[in-house]
Amino acid sequence: MNLPTKLTVLRIILSIFIMILLMFPFEAIGIYFPVLRTNIDIDMKYVIAGIIFIIASITDFLDGYLARKNNQVTDTGKMLDAIADKFLVNPILIIFAAEGLLSPIVPVVIVVRDIVVNTIKMQAASHGKVVAAISSGKIKTASLMIGMVLLFFADVPFIYINIRVDLLFIYFATIMSLISMIQYYQLNKKILFIENEK
């Protein structure tokens, strides 16, 4: 297992740790995270999870960069990277929605978009074609990551001026998810309806 793949596996492990941190009923076993009280209450559990999320996001950049730089791109690495990306983002969006921090429509749209795009990519791969990333998808990812980081940290400092920048980024990313899904379909619809040769 090369270094880029190890970083990808680390991202999956960090994602699991974030999910446990956010979902485990620590209060039931007598563990209480401090709450930073200023003009707003900031739950330190989310701050810790946010720091881990940032570290995991950095590994997302590093694994791809190192794989390309050192010519260590492998099929296993690409598969794990795709899994790790979804593992890092989608469950956390669902948790945020369950906590009432954002609308449930966000994880629904993001997950449906991922299913459609991954189906397109698998169909293309079955015909020996590679579906390249498109700019709208990259904009979606960047906006979503920024919004999620801000949401972990209670949208500080913007919350103090009553502007929800975190949700602006997340809802913009949701719109870009729909746009990128449509673009992926338009660019690859011919491949989707090609029957495999028997």
Q: Does one domain contain both 89 and 66?
A: yes
Per-residue tokens: 155: 């949208």
User: What is the domain range of residue 130?
Assistant: 103-198
Burial 86-111 (b: 16+ CB within 10 A, else e): ebbbebbbbbbbeeebbeeebbebbb
pLDDT average, residue stretch 42-69: 91
Sign of the torsion formed by the C-alpha atoms of 9, 116, 19 and 66: positive
Average per-residue pLDDT in the chain? Answer: 89
User: What is the model's pTM?
Assistant: 0.88
The pLDDT value given to residue 198 = 43
Report the CATH number at residue 22: 1.20.120.1760
Q: Does one domain contain both 133 and 65?
A: no
pLDDT average, residue stretch 96-114: 96
Q: How many domains does the chain have?
A: 2
Which of 101, 129, 152 finishes a domain? Answer: 101
Q: What is the pLDDT of residues 141-180, one digit of tens each?
A: 999 999 999 999 999 999 888 899 999 999 999 999 999 9
The pLDDT value given to residue 81 = 86
Which residue is associated with the tokens 């990313």? 173
Q: Does one domain contain both 90 and 3?
A: yes
Q: Does pLDDT of 105 surpass 50?
A: yes
CA 74/CA 64 separation, integer angstroms:
11
Helix (H, G, I), strand (E, B) or coil at 103: coil
Q: Which residue has the higher pLDDT, 92 or 76?
A: 92
CA 97/CA 107 separation, integer angstroms:
8
Give residue 68's pLDDT band: very low, low, confident or very high (50, 70, 90): confident
- Under 8 Å CB-to-CB from 143, ≥6 apart: which residues? 169, 170, 172, 173, 176
Indicate the pairing of strand 41-43 with strand 35-37.
Answer: antiparallel
